[in-house]
Amino acid sequence: MEYEEKIPSCDCVSEHRDIVEKVRKEMSDDEIIYDMAELFKVFGDSTRVKILDALFVSEMCVCDLASVLEMKQSAVSHQLRILKQARLIKFRKEGKAVYYSMADEHVRKIFDQAINHLEE
Amino acid sequence: MEYEEKIPSCDCVSEHRDIVEKVRKEMSDDEIIYDMAELFKVFGDSTRVKILDALFVSEMCVCDLASVLEMKQSAVSHQLRILKQARLIKFRKEGKAVYYSMADEHVRKIFDQAINHLEE
DNA sequence: CATTCATATGAATATATATTCATATGTTCA
DNA sequence: TGAACATATGAATATATATTCATATGAATG
C-alpha cells in the first residue's frame, strides 16, 4: 500500500501538485544544469574575465598576461589552467614561451549577452 | 627624471612592451569586467541555474520551487534573493504567496550560448 | 651539460559563499 | 485579535576556491 508521498523538503500545505509535476518533467537534466553552472563558475571570477577580455585583443604569453593584469605569474598560470580545462582558450608553444588565445567565438557571444543584460 | 617603470608582478625579461600596451589600451574597463564576473557568479551555482531553468517552464511560488528542487524553503529563498538582486527574476505577491518568474529573455539567450559551447 | 629563463604545480592560507537552523515578518481567516 | 501559514532573514557552519610562496619541469643557449 502506497502512502501519498510527502516531499520532505517542503513544509508548505498549499503546494500546487500539477505545476510541480509539469515543471519536474520539463526541466533540463541535472547533468546539463550541473555542467552549465560549472561553465558559468569559470566566468564568475574577475581575473578570468579579464584574461579572456585581454585575449580578445591579442594572443599573449603568460608573462605578458601577468604584466597586463599586474598579477603574479603563478596566479595567472593557475587561472589559465582552469580556462584551458573549460576549453575556453587554446595555446601554442614557441620555445620557452606558451602563447594563449581564445578557443572559439562562444565566449564573445556569451559576454555580449551579459553586457546586454547589464546595460539594460 | 623618470625611471623605466618596472611592473612588479612580472619577473619575465622578454616582455612584449608593444603588445602589452595595446592590450592595456583596448581592454574593457575594470568596472565592466567586475560587473560581468559578478553576473556570471550568479549563474555559477547549480541551485540557481536550476531555479532559473524551472522558472523557464512556469512561474512558481517559493513553496513549489522548494518542492521541485527538493530543498529547504530557506535555502531557496536565500538564492531567490540573489537572483532578484541581479534583476534576473521578478515577483508578484498574491496573499501569503510570492510568485517568482523570469525577468526577461537575456537569461535564455545566455543559457543557449552556454549550451552551444558545452555541446561542441 | 650547466645555467638561465618561462611556465606549471603542490601546499598553505585567506576569503567567499551555500546551506541549515531558528526566528522574524507579514498575510489571511476564523 | 489570535492562530496558522508563506516567506524572509540573521547567525553559524561547512565547503569551495583564489592567491601566494616555494619549487618543479622543460626548453634554449653558451
Confidence of residue A13 (pLDDT cuts 50, 70, 90): confident
Is residue B31, in this structure, part of any structural domain at all? yes
pLDDT in tens, B61-75: 999 999 999 999 999
Residue A50 CB neighbours (<10 A): 23
Mean pLDDT, chain B, integer: 91
pLDDT in tens, A39-97: 999 999 999 999 999 999 999 999 999 999 999 999 999 999 999 999 999 999 999 99
Is residue A93, in this structure, part of any structural domain at all? yes
Q: Does A108 touch chain B (CB under 8 A)?
A: no
Quote the pLDDT of residue A3.
31
Question: What is the domain range of residue B25?
Answer: 17-119
What DSSP string runs through A28-92?
Answer: PPHHHHHHHHHHHHHHSSHHHHHHHHHHHH--EEHHHHHHHHT--HHHHHHHHHHHHHTTSEEEE
Is residue A89, in this structure, part of any structural domain at all? yes
Is residue A69, in this structure, part of any structural domain at all? yes
Is residue A14, in this structure, part of any structural domain at all? no
Residues 6+ apart with CB under 8 A from B119: none
Write down the residue that cell numbers 587554446 correspond to: A90
Position A34: which residue type?
Y
- Please report which helix (H) or strand (E) contains residue B43, including its range: helix B30-43
Interface of A with B in 5-34 (CB under 8 A): 7-12, 14-16, 19-20, 22-24, 26-28, 32-34
Is residue A32, in this structure, part of any structural domain at all? yes
Is residue B73, in this structure, part of any structural domain at all? yes
Q: Does A85 touch chain B (CB under 8 A)?
A: no
Q: Is the pLDDT of residue B1 over 80?
A: no
Number of domains in chain B: 1
Is residue A5, in this structure, part of any structural domain at all? no
Where residue B87 sits, what CATH number does that domain have? Answer: 1.10.10.10
A47: CB within 7 A of chain C nucleic strand = no
Residues from chain A that touch B57, judged by Cβ atoms under 8 A, are: 22-23, 26-27
